[in-house]
Amino acid sequence: MILNILEYPDPRLRTIAKPVDEVTDETRKLIEDMFETMYDAPGIGLAATQVNVHQQIIVMDLSEDKSEPRVFINPKVEVLDGDYQPMQEGCLSVPGFYEDVDRIEHVRINAINEKGEAFELEATGLLAVCIQHEMDHLNGKLFVDYLSALKRNRIRKKLEKLHKKSA
């Protein structure tokens, strides 16, 4: 089922997600709906926060042909080296805006998969960037928070105007 994606500046996007106690069939159904929603958008990542479910669940697929689906439940990210690199980011909750954000170049993520098995992954490049972007969502943070107040307010005003039209 395609789920509704919350859009900035919706305050619910600022909610801190809670850990998943047990990976159940209900968790797996939500993950299935998150993948369907992400592919439909289209996007390369989606955090449960964005569909107003405040559990620590991220789905991702950086492939061109939906061939590399990834699930991260209760993820923890470690910095492997402190270098930052700028990369252009978009966000399904901030549709139509793309801005450069500095992110840590090399990270390690520890998480649980949809079968409840623990795993670890080292990442650089777009995968590392996407992991940090999705982790921010689970902590109520958005990529616009890294921009200047001027840019952030311009984006907010444009999206609020769009919401009024469609409301």
Ligand X SMILES: O=C(O)C[C@@H](Cc1ccccc1)C(=O)SCC(=O)c1ccccc1
Closest CA to 138 of 53, 31, 22, 42: 53
Our finding on whether 129 is near ligand X (CB under 6 A) is yes
| Minimum gap (Å) between residue 128 Cβ and ligand X | 10
Side chain identity at 60, as an amino acid letter? M
Catalytic site residue from 78, 122, 134, 160: 134
Q: How many residues does the chain have?
A: 167
Stretch that binds ligand X, among 39-47, 106-114, 144-152, 153-161 (CB under 6 A): 39-47
Footprint of Zn ion on residues 89-128 (CB under 5 A)? 91
Residue 130 as a binder of ligand X (CB under 6 A): the answer is yes
Sign of CA dihedral 144, 126, 50, 158: positive
Min dist. Cβ of residue 115 to Zn ion (A): 26
Pairwise CA distance, residues 135 & 120, whole Å: 15
Q: Which of 13, 45, 75, 112 binds ligand X (CB under 6 A)?
A: 45
First-to-last alpha carbon distance for the chain, in angstroms, is 23
**Interaction residues for ligand X, span 58-117 (CB under 6 A):** 89-93
145 touches 99 (CB < 8 A)? no
Question: Any known ligand binding at 106?
Answer: no
155 binds Zn ion (CB under 5 A): no
91 is in an annotated binding site: yes
- In the three-class reduction of DSSP (H, G, I as helix; E, B as strand; rest coil), residue 141 is classed as coil
Q: State the amino acid at position 112 in one-letter form.
A: I
- Does the annotation mark 134 as catalytic? yes
Residues identified as active-site: 134
Would you tell me which residues interact with ligand X (CB under 6 A)? 42-47, 89-93, 129-130, 133-134
Would you tell me which residues interact with Zn ion (CB under 5 A)? 91
